[in-house]
């Protein structure tokens, strides 16, 4: 039993110091001095990777699949907010294109993820 606990502890430490990558697209968030936490609604996270990756809540999707999957989430959670988690090297036009698709589908609660500067 102690061996199992030590094994779990080692993996937790290795993941937390980024020796073993976590799931999803690896992004370096831009920083903002006014970043806040959004916890009042159910959040769906759209990740934009620097190499063209697109994910919804950690699962790979195409641009055509993004809106139908979000509509399915909205059926279960009517007050869903969409958080765009884009790498700081992603082109602004790509972020705007995703936001336009979301607004055209009726998603008005859209946020952009940023890391709060110390």
Q: What would the pLDDT profile of 108-117 be if each residue is shown by its tens digit? A: 888 887 777 7
Tell whether 73 is covered by a domain: yes
Both structure tokens of 31:
């920083």
The pTM (predicted TM-score) of the whole model is 0.66
Instruction: Please give the order of strands across the beta sheet that includes 54-56.
Output: 59-60, 54-56, 42-48, 80-86, 110-112
Tell whether 47 is covered by a domain: yes
Structural domain boundaries, residue 94: 24-116
Residue 31 pLDDT > 80: no
> How much is the average pLDDT of 89-109?
89
* CATH number of the structural domain spanning residue 31: 3.30.420.270
Percent of the chain, pLDDT > 70? Answer: 70
Q: Are 105 and 70 in contact (CB under 8 A)?
A: yes
How many C-beta atoms lie closer than 10 Å to residue 55's C-beta?
19
Both structure tokens of 30:
């831009």
How many C-beta atoms lie closer than 10 Å to residue 54's C-beta?
17
Tell whether 12 is covered by a domain: no
Q: Which of 113, 18, 105 is nearest to 70 (CA)?
A: 105
């Amino acid at each position: 039993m102690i061996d199992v606990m030590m094994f779990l502890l080692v993996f937790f430490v290795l993941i937390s110091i980024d020796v073993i990558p976590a799931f999803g697209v690896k992004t370096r968030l831009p920083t903002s001095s006014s970043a806040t936490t959004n916890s009042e609604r159910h959040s769906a996270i759209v990740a934009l990777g620097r190499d063209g990756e697109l994910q919804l809540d950690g699962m790979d999707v195409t641009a055509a699949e993004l809106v139908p999957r979000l509509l399915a989430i909205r059926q279960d959670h009517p007050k869903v907010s969409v958080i765009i988690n884009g790498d700081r090297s992603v082109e602004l036009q790509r972020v705007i294109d995703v936001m336009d698709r979301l607004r055209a589908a009726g998603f008005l609660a859209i946020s952009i993820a940023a890391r709060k500067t110390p």
